[in-house]
Structure 1
Amino acid sequence: MTDVSITPVRGRAATTAFVRLPHTLYRDDPHWVAPLERELRACLDPRRNPFHTSGTVQLFLAHRGTTPLGRIAAHIDPRYQERHQDRTGHIGFFECADDPAVAGALFTAADRWLADRGADRMLGPLSFTTNDECGLLVDGFDRPPTVQMPHNPPYYAELFTACGFTKAKDLHTFTGPVPADGEAPAVIRRAAQRALAAPGIRVRPLDPRRYDADLAAVLRIYNDAWAENYASVPFTDAEFRHLGRRLKPLLVPDLLQIAEVGGEPAGFTLWLPDANQALARVRGRLTTYGLPIGLVRAARDRRRITRTRASTSGITKEHRGRGLMAALFCRAQQAAARLGYTENEYSWILEDNRDAARYAKAMGAVHTRTHRLYHRPLGAAPAATPAATA
């Protein structure tokens, strides 16, 4: 028996407790960057996040007495199950005190909820899909996270393994300098020159005058290029429009480079300014008591952003092997240098995606962090794991 109670999140007060729990857990962590509260609320809100149109979600909070000590989301994504032809359910938004009893109770609650909906395995953390934040940080705790990349204490991995989870897949991060002249290493420059010398090949930045059309092209490329990736699901039009609205304040046209073959979009790379450098001191809130204190701080600190993140790239299957990625990276890095950035992160890259890792290394980047996806069969919790109460 355990004194940990698990309650489903219902209503505004419980949602607020769910959203703000990490502030207590991370108060002594110098590297943690609080997510913007309004963005997290929007992500969890079925009225505002198109994921909920097809996905089914239940949030849980763990308490001991009246003190919240942990949280988790359990979710079923029919698109994942259809694409991968299995009955996997997912967990995400996991945060927990360093207490195996709390973690065990949270996982048990998620296990039971997923099993009741026909799942036979849980995979995570995914919040909510691989198109969103995913993975548990297991190596590289010595630096703050970049925008849209998870951060957590080292003990989280111990909680997962103690509760019967094993590694499903590792996601690697590579970090490298952006030289002042923006020039890529010679091997990448030569590959880019060969690609651009071929008839009908062009690389150009996002055109703000045709923002919607260019993003629609990026969506088509992404869904084609990522279709066979581990745990992937396709973006719907509504999800991608939602993402486009969220990212628009961050998008710099010259950092979204699009490759065309014969006038048709065939590849892209998206580098984002690392907004976390500006948001670190805001602590997740842009207003305090109605005053835009956080907004002023973020606007001031934005001038200090020195890092970009190559957050996603893709080449359609039809046009792989042409050297388009080399050309895209060359143009993006030249733009990053012109804009004053001095470092770029390539993240995340699947551990067995050798081509992507080879490109990152050729650009002068080194492996700096690892995030891990874990899985376990439902009902496979260790016997010592305490039962949850709902």
Structure 2
Amino acid sequence: MSDRWAGPEIRAVKGKADRREFIELGFRLNRGDPNWVPPLRSEVAALLDPKQNPWFEHGVAQLFLAYRDGRAVGRISAHIDALALEQPAEQGFGPGTGNWGLLEAEDEQAAHALIARAESWLGARDMTRVVAPISLSVWDEPGLLTFGHDHPPTVMMGHDRPEYQAWIESAGYSSIKQLKTWELDITRPFPPLIRRIIESGNRNDRISIRTVDKSRFAEEAALILGILNDAWSDNWGFVPLTDAEIAYAGKKLKAIVFEDLVRVAEYDGEPVAFMITLPDINEKLADLGGSLLPFGWAKLLWWLRKPQVRTVRVPLMGVVKRLQASRMASQLAFMLIDTTNEVANARYGATRGEIGWILDDNQGMNAIAETLECTVNKVYDLYEKAL
């Protein structure tokens, strides 16, 4: 009889069959979790495909599978982002910092073996430090879910089994940063002080809030993500988005971007802030099992005509750097949230908003969330280890 706890064999993923097994393992190990939302297999495949994902223009990755008695029991990716290596070390990445991510494992022994193999791969390429987990790019699904396992993730957010935290920490990793998401009851009026700030902004002729124009989608996406690159450039973990990545992100998001949920704030006619709000497509994906076949595509297209959701998520917002120390920064944020909440509730049926992720040391954004009487509903930890 075989020993369940025999050390697993770690193999590098090679070819389409291995890649399919890598993807399917995530479904097999998470299928029993009622709060896990199956991603579309095509989306996961695109993330891992150098021919589709422009991250590979500046990054290199190797996927690994763990086997015991010929059966896959775990997976991990090891990767190096050349743009992350160029960032200042005090901002989280920098020279010598590699990453691993996409960890799934049946047991702690398999997890440790996979992490050790990823570390070995990174060390062989002159990496001296690991920051993990990161699903290839910090713009994808960074961090390990450590709080909030009791409800499903929203669109573009990850979900991990609770035991992974102890397994990663017992492999020698310590948390260096927490990413928080904040929950907001969008049916509740804002506090009087916030209403006065918003109304003051509405009376200011120099400030205007507009929706985006999807007929000029590529231009609008480039404008918004250009503000993002400026607004977030001093943040911990920042890695600039390339033009190809901006175009790719715009193409991926176009189907779930609705003009009245994406706002740009202008000051004297110049775009200075933005907020992207997305209806929580995960509420629909939960029923599709990761596939658009045979009829999932029709269900999804019908839903996208006029989505009705419980939750909308704000994955990205930003104010240009030159205004971030001013009172106007928070005023613009309150105005953007206010105008979007009204639409989200009236047209999309949403009663709940989720803002984030937000870095634990982002005092400005966390203060805005607290002032709006939001509550933290999920926390994702990023870990580090010296090699």
TM tier, smaller? over 0.9
- Does residue 260 of structure 2 align to residue 260 of structure 1? no
> Structure 1 residue 158 and structure 2 residue 166: aligned?
yes
Equivalent of 1:345, from 344, 349, 354?
Answer: 354
How far 1:216 sits from its partner (Å)?
Answer: 1.3
Moved over 6 A (4+): none
CA distance in 1, matches of 2:38, 2:289: 5
Cα distance between partner residues in 2 of 1:199 and 1:306 = 34
2:208 counterpart letter in structure 1: R
| Deviation larger for 203-212 or 99-108 | 203-212
Q: Is 1:354 aligned to residue 363 of structure 2?
A: yes
Report the counterpart of residue 385 of structure 1 in structure 2: none
2:6/2:68 contact within 8 Å kept: no
The question of 1:308 aligning with 2:312 is answered yes
CA distance in 1, matches of 2:217, 2:194: 29
1:269-321 deviations in Å (ceiling 9; x for gaps):
1111000000001111111xxx2x22244456665522100111100011232
> Kindly, what percent of the aligned residue pairs are identical?
35
| Other structure's SS at 2:264 match | strand
**After superposition, what is the alpha-carbon deviation per residue over 1:173-232, rounded to whole angstroms, capped at 9, x for unaligned?**
11111118xx53333222222234334211111122322222111011100111111111
Residues 188, 195 of structure 1: alpha-carbon distance in 2 compared, 3 angstrom cutoff: same
1:330 to 313, 332, 338: 338
Greater RCO (CA < 8 Å, at least 6 residues apart)? 1
Counterpart contact for 2:55–2:137, Cα < 8 Å: no
In 2, are the aligned partners of 1:93 and 1:125 still within 8 Å (CA)? yes
Unaligned runs of 5+ in 2: 89-93
CA distance in 2, matches of 1:344, 1:184: 13
Equivalences, count: 371
C-alpha deviation, 1:241, in angstroms: 0.6
Output the amino acid matched with 1:373: L
Gaps of 5+ in 1: 379-390
Aligned partners of 1:273 and 1:308 also within 8 Å: yes
Instruction: Identify the match of residue 108 of structure 1 among 116, 132, 135.
Output: 116
Partners of 2:284 and 2:108 lie apart in 1 by 34
Q: How does 1:1-390 map to 2 (within 5 A)?
A: 3-84=7-88, 85-97=94-106, 99-179=107-187, 183-287=189-293, 291=294, 293-299=295-301, 303-320=307-324, 321=326, 322=328, 323-339=331-347, 340-378=349-387
Change beyond 3 A, Cα 1:335–1:184? farther
**Can you list the C-alpha shifts for 1:215-268, whole angstroms capped at 9, x where unaligned?**
111011100111111111011110011011110110011111101112111000
SS in 1 for 2:256: coil
Report the alpha carbon displacement of residue 148 of structure 1 after superposing the two structures with TM.
0.7
Name the counterpart of 2:91.
Answer: none
C-alpha distance in structure 1 between counterparts of 2:315 and 2:241, whole Å: 16
Amino acid in the other structure paired with 2:102 = F
